[in-house]
Chains A and B, each alone.
Chain A
Amino acid sequence: MTRLGDIVEKVRSKNAGPFWMTVDIFCGSPEAYARVVALPTAHIASLFQTDQQLIRRFDIPNLNVVKFSFPRPQVQGSIHDRDMHGASFGALLAEMDVPG
C-alpha cells in the first residue's frame, strides 16, 4: 500500500476558529489530485471518528486541493483537547493508506 503523504505535496491541519478543524491536502499534480479526490468522505469520517454528515468537503481541481472541515472533536482548549492549534490531525491523513 502507498501512504497518502507519499503521493501529495503537503497535508496541513489547523483550527478554523475554536470550534472547527480544517485539513487541506495539497496534491501538487492533477494525477495525485485524481487519486485523492476518489477517497470517499466516509473514509475520512471514520479516520477522525466524526459524523460524516458534519464534514464539509471541497474538491478544488484548479488548485489540486481537497479540503475537509469538521467540528473539532474537542473544543479548542477544553480540558480534553490535546492539540491547541489542531496541528497534528493532518498527520493522520498523511499516514493513511491509499489504493494503488
Chain B
Amino acid sequence: MTKVLIPSGALGLGYDKAALERGIAAGPDIIAIDGGSTDSGPSYLGRGVSKYSRASTRVEWQGLIEARARAGVPLVLGTAGTCGADSAVDWLVGITREIAEATGQRLKIAVLKSGQSAETVVQALRDGRIMPLTPAPDIDEALIESCTNIVALAGAEQIAAALATGADIVIAGRTTDTAIIAARPLSDGCSPGGAWHGAKIGECGALCTTNPASGVIMVDFDADGFTVQPLSETARATPHTVSAHMLYENSDPFILYEPGGHLDVTGATYTAPDKRSVRVTGSKWVPSDSYTVKLEGARMAGYQTISLALIRDAHYVAHAQDWCDDIHRRTTEKVLDRLSVTRGDFNIELRLIGQNATLGELEANLVTPAEIGVLGIVTARTEALAEEIGKMLNPYLLHHSLTEEEEMPTFAFPFSPAEVQRGAIYEFCLNHVMRIANPMDAFRLDVIEVGG
C-alpha cells in the first residue's frame, strides 16, 4: 500500500546505485534516509557539525535528489548532519542549494528544525514537564544553560507536517531513526504497529539482511503489517535476519518508545513469502496518554591535550603500570606545585595500549606484549592549562626511570611536537523527555525554494 525506499543506514555511508535504480523501478511512494546518530559521541552535537565529509555527503545527496526526480516522489532525510542541530540542518540545506543551482533544478524544501533554546527547556523544567529516563544525570537550570546544543527528537507527526507542505525534499533536524520511515505509511492509514516496526527494521537499510553492506531495501506497508525486501541481488532477508535486527542498538528488543506511544513486537510473527523477503504481522502500537519528546544535550567538558609514547624495552613493558602510576603521581605533584590550580581543575590519565586501554579495570586478559603505547590524556578547564600540563608530563614520558639506580632511559615518540591539542571536548548531559501539548510545539517548519 505504501512503499518506502531506503537507500542505506545513513547518508555518507554510500549505497548501491544499481539497487537504488531497481527500487525506483518498483515505484516507491517516498525515499527516506537517516542522516545521523549519537553513536559517534558528543562532540558533533556539542559543536553542531557533521562527522561525514562534505564532499561525500554532497555526492551521495545529489544521487538521491536525482533519484527522487526520476521517481517523482518526496525525499525525506532525518537527523541532518549527524547531530540534527539547527546549524547541521543549515549545512545540508546549503549543500542542497548548491546542487539545485549546479543542476538547474527548482526544488521546494521543507526544513524542520529540532533545536531547543535553553529558555524553552528551563521553562519546561520549571513547569515540571521534563522527566528523567534511566539512568539520567542530575540537571538544573545552570546545566541546561551550559549546553551548546539541545535537540528534541521529532516523531512521525512532525515529519507528516513537513510532507503535507507538498515539498520535494524534507530536511529535518534531530528525529527518531524510525520517524522518517513511519510517517508516510501512518498518514496513509497503514497499521500503526506495522508502520513503526517496519521503520525500525528498515532504519539501518540492509543491516536487517544477509548482506548489510548492500544498503538499499524496500519496505512495503499495508493494513496488517509490512514486507521487507532487499534490492541488492546479493542480499536476502530471512525471518531470522529481520527479527534479529530488533536486537541492534536496542536495550529492549521487544519495546520501542517513540513520541506519542510505544511499539510492542512481542506478538509479531515473521514469515518468508519467498526466498528474499520477509512478511511481518502482529506488531502493536500502544498510544501514550501524553505526548513526550526525548531530549539530547551536549556541553563543553574542558580542553584536552594528548601524547603518545611507545615503550619497547622489555623491562619497562613488564612494569608499565607501575611506571605510569609513578609518572601520574609526580606530574600531579608538579602541576599543583608550579601552577595556581586545584585538583578539580585538571585530570591526567595514562592508558596502556596493548594491555588494557580499551576495557580498563574490566580487562581479564592481561598479557605481556612486545610493546606498549602509553596514551597520555590531559583534560583541563582551559586550553592553555591543558597545554601546560601536557608539557609537564612530557619529560617523564621521555626519560622517567623505574628506579633511581637505573641509567636514564629514553622512550619512542612518533611525533614532534609530542603533544596534540584536541581543543574543546564535549559531554552528553541529558537523558530526559519533555512533555509538550502539541507535537509542533517544540519544532519549527519552514518551506523554501532553491535553484532555478
- Residue A30 interfacial (CB < 8 Å): no
Q: Is the CB of A56 within 8 A of B252?
A: yes
Interface-facing stretch out of B162-170, B277-285, B398-406, B422-430: B422-430
Query: Chain B contacts of A16 at CB under 8 A?
Result: 249-251
Q: How far is the CB of B70 from chain A (nearest CB, A)?
A: 36
Give the residue name and chain of the B residue nearest to A18 (CB): B428
Q: Is the CB of B302 within 8 A of A79?
A: yes
Q: How far is the CB of A82 from chain B (nearest CB, A)?
A: 6
Give the residue name and chain of the B residue nearest to A88 (CB): B358
Q: Mark B247-276, 1 if CB is under 8 A from A, else 0.
A: 111111110000000000000000000000
Known: A20-B251, A56-B252, A58-B253. A79 touches B364 (CB 8 A): no
Interface-facing stretch out of B39-47, B59-67, B121-129, B327-335: B39-47
Q: Is the CB of A82 within 8 A of B364?
A: no
One of A76, A83, A92 near B38 (C-beta < 8 A):
A76
- Residue B137 interfacial (CB < 8 Å): yes
Q: Is the CB of B41 within 8 A of A79?
A: no
Query: Chain A contacts of B136 at CB under 8 A?
Result: 19
Give the residue name and chain of the A residue nearest to B347 (CB): A79
Q: Is the CB of A47 within 8 A of B364?
A: yes
Report the bound CA distance from A75 to B254 in whole Å.
24
Query: Chain A contacts of B379 at CB under 8 A?
Result: 79
Q: Is the CB of A79 within 8 A of B301?
A: yes
Report the bound CA distance from A51 to B254 in whole Å.
23
- Residue B359 interfacial (CB < 8 Å): yes
Q: How far is the CB of A30 from chain B (nearest CB, A)?
A: 14
Q: Is the CB of B364 within 8 A of A18?
A: no
Give the residue name and chain of the A residue nearest to B425 (CB): A79
Report the bound CA distance from A80 to B40 in whole Å.
16
Q: How far is the CB of A86 from chain B (nearest CB, A)?
A: 9
- Residue A69 interfacial (CB < 8 Å): yes
**Chain A: interface residue total (CB-CB under 8 A):** 39
One of B349, B365, B427 near A78 (C-beta < 8 A):
B427
One of B249, B253, B364, B426 near A60 (C-beta < 8 A):
B253
Q: Is the CB of A75 within 8 A of B251?
A: no
One of B39, B137, B244, B296 near A75 (C-beta < 8 A):
B137
Q: How far is the CB of A87 from chain B (nearest CB, A)?
A: 9
Q: Is the CB of B247 within 8 A of A67?
A: yes
Report the bound CA distance from A80 to B348 in whole Å.
10
Report the bound CA distance from A67 to B255 in whole Å.
14
Interface residues of B in 1-54 (CB under 8 A from A): 38-43
- Residue B391 interfacial (CB < 8 Å): no
Query: Chain B contacts of A92 at CB under 8 A?
Result: 359, 362-364
Q: Which one of A17, A48, A58 has the highest number of Cβ atoms from chain B below 10 Å of its Cβ?
A: A17
Query: Chain B contacts of A22 at CB under 8 A?
Result: 247, 249-251
- Residue B361 interfacial (CB < 8 Å): yes
Give the residue name and chain of the A residue nearest to B248 (CB): A14
- Residue B344 interfacial (CB < 8 Å): no
- Residue B392 interfacial (CB < 8 Å): no
- Residue B444 interfacial (CB < 8 Å): no
Report the bound CA distance from A85 to B251 in whole Å.
14
Q: How far is the CB of A57 from chain B (nearest CB, A)?
A: 11
Q: How far is the CB of B419 from chain A (nearest CB, A)?
A: 17
Interface residues of A in 21-56 (CB under 8 A from B): 22, 24, 26, 47-49, 56
Report the bound CA distance from A80 to B304 in whole Å.
12
Q: Is the CB of B39 within 8 A of A85?
A: yes
- Residue B357 interfacial (CB < 8 Å): yes
Q: Is the CB of A82 within 8 A of B360?
A: yes
Q: Is the CB of B42 within 8 A of A67?
A: no
- Residue B120 interfacial (CB < 8 Å): no
- Residue B134 interfacial (CB < 8 Å): yes
Known: A56-B252, A76-B41, A88-B358. A18 touches B347 (CB 8 A): no
Interface residues of B in 375-415 (CB under 8 A from A): 377, 379
Known: A47-B364, A63-B240, A92-B359. A77 touches B351 (CB 8 A): no
Give the residue name and chain of the B residue nearest to A25 (CB): B247
Q: How far is the CB of B203 from chain A (nearest CB, A)?
A: 14
- Residue B135 interfacial (CB < 8 Å): yes
Query: Chain B contacts of A19 at CB under 8 A?
Result: 133, 135-136, 428, 431
- Residue A6 interfacial (CB < 8 Å): no
Known: A20-B251, A79-B347, A79-B427. 17 other contacts (CB 8 A): A15-B38, A15-B249, A17-B251, A18-B296, A19-B133, A24-B248, A58-B253, A65-B244, A75-B428, A76-B42, A77-B42, A79-B304, A79-B377, A82-B358, A83-B358, A84-B39, A95-B365
**29 chain-A/chain-B pairs, Cβ below 8 angstroms:** A15-B38, A18-B42, A18-B428, A19-B428, A19-B431, A20-B251, A22-B247, A24-B248, A47-B362, A47-B364, A65-B244, A69-B252, A71-B135, A73-B362, A75-B137, A75-B427, A76-B38, A76-B41, A77-B42, A78-B428, A80-B349, A82-B360, A83-B358, A83-B359, A84-B39, A84-B40, A85-B39, A88-B358, A88-B359
